[in-house]
Copies of this chain bind each other. A is one copy, B any other.
Amino acid sequence: MTTARRDTYTPQTLLEVAVRVFNERGYDGTSMEHLSKAAGISKSSIYHHVAGKEELLRRAVNRALDGLFAVLSEEHARVGRAVDRLEYVTRRTVEVLVDELPYVTLLLRVRGNTDTERWAMERRRDFDHQVAALLKEAAADGDLRSDVELRLATRLLFGMINSVVEWYRPDSRGAADGAEIADAVVRLAFAGLRTDG
C-alpha cells in the first residue's frame, strides 16, 4: 500500500498533477488508481475534489480552449486587415500554447472516445474554422499567395503552430520564451525562410 500523504490539494494543483499523468500515459490509459498514485492521496480524497477523471479532463481542455478563444476576441484579432489579424492570431495562439503548454498538449492529443473528448474536439474544430475563415478573407483581399491551395495552407500553418507542443521544453537550457517562438513562427509562416536578396 502506498503511504497516502495528507490531502493539501486545491482543485488547481490536483488538475496540474492529472494533466501531467494524462500527457504521459494518454487519457485512455490513465485510471483513477494512476492519478491516486501520482498525487499521493487516496482515490476517495480525489473524489472529494472532482466527480472523476472525465471532470479533470473537461477542466483541463477547457482551460486550453478558453485561452485560445480569448485570442479571437482581442482587439487586434477583430479590427483591421484580415492578413494582419491572421498574423496577430498566429502570434497569440503560439503564446497561449507556450503559456498553457500541458493543457494545449492534452487538447491536441484527445482522441474522441468519450463525450468530453468529442466536445473538446468540436470546440477545437470551431477555433480552427474561425482561423481558416481569416485565411480565406486574407486570400480574398489578395494578401495571401494564390499558388497554394487554401485548405493546404491552413493545414500547414496549424501544423507549424501545433508542432510546438512536440518539441518545446521550457526548462531546457537556453530555451526560447513564448514571444521568441511566436515571432519565429510568424516570420517563417508569413515571410518564409529565404532571404529576398
Residue of B nearest to A183 (CB): B148
Q: Which residues does chain B contribute within 8 Å of A144, judged by CB atoms?
A: 193-195
Chain A 124-162, CB-CB to B under 8 Å as 1, else 0, gives 000000000000000000111111110011011111101
The docked-state distance in angstroms from the alpha carbon of A77 to that of B153 is 25
Q: How many residues of A sit at the interface, in one of the four size bands? A: 35 or more
Please tell me which stretch of A54-62, A66-74, A184-192 contacts chain B, meaning at least 4 of its Cβ atoms lie within 8 angstroms of it: A184-192
Q: Does A110 contact B (CB under 8 A)?
A: no
B145–A184 contact, CB under 8 A?
no
Please state the number of chain copies in the assembly: 2
Q: Which residues does chain B contribute within 8 Å of A26, judged by CB atoms?
A: 26
Chain A residues near B (Cβ < 8 Å): 26, 29, 83, 142-149, 152-153, 155-160, 162-164, 166-167, 176, 180-181, 183-185, 187-195, 197
List, sorted by A's number, 30 A–B pairs whose CB atoms are closer than 8 Å: A26-B26, A142-B195, A142-B197, A144-B194, A145-B194, A145-B195, A147-B187, A148-B183, A148-B187, A149-B180, A152-B180, A152-B181, A152-B184, A153-B184, A153-B188, A153-B193, A155-B163, A155-B167, A156-B185, A156-B188, A158-B163, A159-B159, A159-B162, A159-B164, A159-B166, A160-B163, A162-B163, A162-B166, A188-B192, A190-B193
